Amino acid sequence: MSEPSSGSSESSSATSQATDGAADRRPPAPTGLPILGNAVRFARDPFGFTVDAVAEVGDAFRIDLPVGDRYVLAHPDHAERVLVTERDAFEKTEDFPLAFGDSVIAVGGGDWREQRDFLDPFFFASRIESYLPTVREQIVRRVDAWVDGEEVPILSAMQGLTFDILATTLLGIDAGSDRDDLRAAADDLNAYFEPATWMLPDWLPTPSRRRFDAAKATLRTEIRSLLADADSEGEDAADAERPPGVGLVETLAAGLGGDAADRADYPRDRDAAVDQLIGLVFAGHETTALALTFALYCLAEHPETARRVEAELDDVVGPEPIGWEHLDDLPTLDRVVDESLRLYPPVHALPRETTRPVTFGDDVVPGGAEVLVSVFAMHRDERFWEQPSTFDPTRWRDRDRTADAYLPFGAGPRRCLGATFARVEARVALAELLRRFRFERVEDGALSLSPQMTTQPAGEVPMVVRRR
Ligand code: HEM
């Protein structure tokens, strides 16, 4: 970990405090074993460890790991400082560019602004509305193949579904093309962030990191060929007017123009375009697949809520395909999405690195430290939620989605670019699934979770589907 760097007046006072006894002033760590620190408890159950640690030592604490300290922040005021008011002191960690290169999810400063401006129009409400028939088509195509009483591996089914949706809408990849290799590689990207690897130095080539590197190499090859195809199709139609709503792959290919040399505008070269697409494939399909899986799990565990959603769908949508105009009239479904994102936030923590020492109460987090804003801990904290472990969508009747302690999509300028896209996709998918099928769990007991970069169920989530 690097030494504190200089910064603003606030930071220089914090710097002197930090160097006058930084070791004593660091946030406290929960009790752990000598040498291994908190590693054993953390590795066994990272989510339970984090929630317990907030109760034991407070909402700014240190995890004592063999690779060095990590700092966890689990209060909405801390989150506000990290993500909004003092965000210049908290950069994205180096893991992001390592994993995703030159993509909006990874870069900072002027590059980030330029990429976000380039991408924003793809996420305007009018654009998302125009995607809706394709979203529906992808869902119907997939579930029409399900047989009454069949056992479906829900997590993989949802990963397949959200990948197909992303590919055929935002990216604009032809619905009929073979995307299997691309998808398999995209699913493997999560491996980089397996919790076991959090204990190990970055240079150690663990099996999951090797899987990640292999997945990225496959993705690069696949995406390069998608760009090349889009480019040649674009040249064939050089004189034709480009239709509105053209996909991202084609837009990036057109932006590169023929043989890409370094350019002044974004994307500056082919590698940049490839990186962007890899980042979006990762950010845009795994997260929504998890949101859908967790929502279906919650509904299977709470059939009375599932029946209310069915009744609402019958009443508001009837036999018609769900359309944009229905989305505002489905409050029960909406609250199911909100509540399952609270209990099972697909992104459980927001990692950052401090650019200077920062004080939290009497404690100082040194500069160059890895900080995690724990979305999961805040979502399960009884100071902010009544009976936090209970799935209760009705709590959202009198609670605002923008309320404190609710950050499934992050906050501030780096808030999720795809939040609206994801919420529309989740509601349309759930509506089309729930009007056709009821979902029954095959396994008993609560779902076990495992944190990779995203919140993963520990293993597949099989469910029996019964036609309504
Ligand atoms: C339920 C589904 C989703 C969840 C829970 C989710 C969650 C998040 C969170 C928490 C962040 C902020 C990360 C941070 O601050 O460190 C984020 C960023 C991002 N998300 Fe999502 N996301 C979802 C769906 C999507 C979709 C569908 C897309 C694109 C199609 C997408 C694209 C992005 C991008 C590009 C960023 C980086 C934004 C930036 O740094 O400016 N996400 N997401």
What spacing in Å lies between the alpha carbon of 467 and ligand 1's midpoint? 33
Q: Residue 305 domain-assigned? A: yes
Q: Residue 53 domain-assigned? A: yes
Report whether residue 280 contacts ligand 1, using a CB cutoff of 6 Å: yes
What spacing in Å lies between the alpha carbon of 410 and ligand 1's midpoint? 8
Atom number in ligand 1 closest to CA 413: 41
pLDDT at 261: 53
**Is the C-alpha dihedral spanning 151, 436, 180, 348 positive or negative?**
negative
pLDDT at 334: 96
Nearest CA to ligand 1 atom 19: 416
Half-sphere exposure in the Cβ direction for 378 (13 Å, CA): 27
Report whether residue 368 contacts ligand 1, using a CB cutoff of 6 Å: no
Any idea what DSSP says for residue 123?
G
Q: Residue 4 domain-assigned? A: no
Report whether residue 418 contacts ligand 1, using a CB cutoff of 6 Å: yes
Q: Residue 301 domain-assigned? A: yes
Q: Residue 257 domain-assigned? A: yes
**312 with 138: CB under 8 angstroms?**
no
Q: How far apart are CA 360 and CA 86, in angstroms?
A: 12
pLDDT at 297: 98
Report whether residue 288 contacts ligand 1, using a CB cutoff of 6 Å: yes
Report whether residue 105 contacts ligand 1, using a CB cutoff of 6 Å: yes
Q: Residue 278 domain-assigned? A: yes
| CATH number for 368 | 1.10.630.10
Which of 119, 165, 286, 287 best tests ligand 1's pocket when mutated (most atoms within 8 Å of CB)?
A: 287
pLDDT at 100: 81
Any idea what DSSP says for residue 256?
H
| Enclosing domain of residue 138 | 9-467
Report whether residue 128 contacts ligand 1, using a CB cutoff of 6 Å: no
List, for the chain, all residue ranges whose pLDDT scores fall below the cut of 70: 1-24, 33-37, 175-178, 190-205, 231-245, 257-264, 402
- Our count of domains for the chain comes to 1
Q: Residue 1 domain-assigned? A: no
pLDDT at 16: 36
**Cis bond before residue 267 (omega within 30° of 0):** yes
Q: Residue 3 domain-assigned? A: no
